[in-house]
Amino acid sequence: MLGEWKARAQIRIAMVGKYTGLSDSYLSVLKALLHAYVACRRKLVIVWVSTRDLEDATAIE
């Protein structure tokens, strides 16, 4: 069973938000993703992106 879990394809999702530092801010979205990736038999990788990082990059341009 563990070997089957390790062999699952990865799904990478970028979560972009203003409050990425707060654990409960996106809890409902995380729960929905949890159910989706378990149902699809995939391994989920979440990349957190703060909108501040995007705003800084846009201001430079």
**Chain-wide mean pLDDT for the chain?**
82
pLDDT of residue 29: 92
- pLDDT single digits (tens) 7-30: 678 899 999 988 877 778 889 999
Is 52 within 8 Å of 20 (Cβ atoms)? no
36 pLDDT tier (thresholds 50, 70, 90): very high
34 pLDDT tier (thresholds 50, 70, 90): very high
Is the pLDDT at 38 greater than 80, yes or no?
yes
Which secondary structure element, helix H or strand E, spans residue 16, and what is its range? strand 10-17
Is 48 within 8 Å of 26 (Cβ atoms)? no
Name the pTM for this structure.
0.65
